[in-house]
Structure 1
């Protein structure tokens, strides 16, 4: 596998958590959620360096966390933009220029498994772009603005998208530059790349790769992380 750069995005406030503290800094088994995420990449030989994207007011705080927890692969801590898409673009630009492959990961997904990261990267190296995802379990209904159901998509074709999302760097950079020029905002980086016509392929992960977003996610993350620490 090639050497990869990782952009970890942690610039959001996370209003759905309902806490004064931003969700990425909330404690999870004694450490901020964000530190668990960064430590995961720190332990992976395939990851050459990490660019951490945070709110401008949190840059010094995060630099201190990086030093405190020995996160040597975090080479840059940069301010995010008005939208997540702008934050990702800033993070990609902060990585060393010689890195040809880049993944983008949510700072509040500390439970992704290294083997699934490697699998996603391997798919990206074959086709240029890949996203970690899991099959949708529930039946999905599409409704109009009044709540009237207008269609029921075939569940077999539906996937819930996670991160990391992995790309050939020049492909992702070009897609972001085009989106910025066009004034386009996507809901994830894969969408930004998809609109260029480039193929993006799914790499299957698992359901424990949760994004810690709401209060009920925290005890579930505590449980999952505890099981892993016990080797279960």
Structure 2
């Protein structure tokens, strides 16, 4: 399987989590969440290395130049996820061509399963646009009114929760993110930028436990999952 590079936007301050330390640097089993994320991502033999987009003058960054025996590059991220991803795409090694696929993965999504990443790489690179990991919506969805009452029950058929990694070609993703920024569109994931170009990325079903650490409960859940598996990733 040809190798790919990964982009990890890690410039967020994690304001929803609370506290001074950004969530990607919180300690779990003696390592920051970010280290666990990189463990899961770089363990795959097809992932050659990663570029991390960091906040300017990030005081928590450990200064790593490699992880799991693979190179880590850094750049300064932006005020938004899209700006950070664009910065990281520009900072990729010159050997990564415009039509090469690149993974984009959340810094605080440490519970990525090896089998899911394998499926994403295999199926995504066979698609003309690329693909994302996602999970079907299984809960009943309610639309709330202004007063907090239920206005309607929304059909959940064909609805999916977007996860990461997401896999797209370097140049195509760069142009899509640039076009969204120029149009004043705030994209919340990379697939959304491609969608605004009229493209249809593939959905690859991933595990429900590929969650993002956003709250203290999420952090406790990851601690539990890690302890249950004896420190090994799924």
For the residues of structure 2 that align with 1:207 and 1:129, how far apart are their CA atoms? 21
Gaps of 5+ in 2: none
Equivalent in the alignment of 1:206? 207
SS of equivalent residue, structure 1 residue 62: coil
Matched, 1:76 2:77: no
Q: Which residue of 1 aligns with 2:158?
A: 157
CA distance in 1, matches of 2:69, 2:61: 13
| Aligned counterparts, 1:27-176, within 5 A | 27-58=27-58, 61-62=60-61, 64=63, 66-67=64-65, 70-99=67-96, 100-127=100-127, 128-147=129-148, 149-176=150-177
Inter-CA distance 117–155: structure 2 relative to 1 (3 Å threshold) = same
Within 1, Cα distance between the matches of 2:191 and 2:61? 27
Count of residue correspondences: 229
- CA apart distance, 1:171: 1.7
1:182 and 2:183 correspond: yes
**1:14 CA displacement:** 0.9
Considering only aligned residues, what root-mean-square deviation do their CA atoms show, in Å? 2.0
> Contact 2:137/2:161 (CA < 8 Å) preserved in 1?
yes
Q: Which string of whole-angstrom CA distances, capped at 9 and with x for unpartnered residues, describes residues 15-41 of structure 1?
A: 222222111111011100001111223
1:168 Cα offset (Å):
1.8
Q: CA deviation at 1:61?
A: 4.6
| Greater alpha carbon shift after TM alignment, 221-230 vs 204-213 | 221-230
**Equivalent in the alignment of 2:5:** 5
- Give the Cα–Cα distance (whole angstroms) in 2 for the partners of residues 153 and 168 of structure 1: 34
The CA distance in 2 between the partners of 1:54 and 1:229, in whole Å, is 30
Return the structure number with greater helix share.
1
The CA deviation string for residues 116-135 of structure 1, in whole angstroms up to 9 with x for no partner, is 01211222212222111111
1:225 is matched with 226
For the Cα contact (< 8 Å) 1:25–1:33, is it kept in 2?
yes
